Amino acid sequence: AQSVTQLDSQVPVFEEAPVELRCNYSSSVSVYLFWYVQYPNQGLQLLLKYLSGSTLVESINGFEAEFNKSQTSFHLRKPSVHISDTAEYFCAATNGGSQGNLIFGKGTKLSVKP
């Protein structure tokens, strides 16, 4: 069965420092990958997604993630974080079938400190 593992439950960093949130997936079939962000008491917002093509995908607010098939990873990175990036981040995967339900990791809480 497909699964998604987020290796860090909490990541504290200082403002303007770089950050990497790790995500590994297990799937024997082709997979689509997503990162979602959830601010307190809110729903999920799509940050970026990999469907096909270039393995490096970027979001409009400076995050990027790289699909690495050999390592079955889709780590999220940002070179310089802001206080406003404090939130919980979820990695998710779905296979290429028509059902397409998302399998989520348990989330990583990013805390950006001044």
Partner 1 sequence: ETGVTQSPTHLIKTRGQQVTLRCSSQSGHNTVSWYQQALGQGPQFIFQYYREEENGRGNFPPRFSGLQFPNYSSELNVNALELDDSALYLCASSLVEDRGYTFGSGTRLTVV
What is the binding site for partner 1 (CB under 8 A)?
A: 4, 32, 34, 36, 42-46, 49, 51, 90, 92, 94, 98-107
CB of 101 to partner 1, least distance (A): 4
Cβ 71 vs Cβ 78: under 8 Å: no
Residue 15 or 104: the one with the smaller Cβ distance to partner 1 is 104
CB of 100 to partner 1, least distance (A): 6
The pair of three-digit structure tokens given for residue 99, joined into one six-digit string? 């059902």
Cα dihedral: 57, 79, 47, 28 (round 10): 50
Residue 101 or 114: the one with the smaller Cβ distance to partner 1 is 101
Range 1-21 burial, b when 16+ CB lie within 10 A, else e:
eeebebeeeebebeeeeebeb
Residue 32 or 72: the one with the smaller Cβ distance to partner 1 is 32
CB of 85 to partner 1, least distance (A): 19
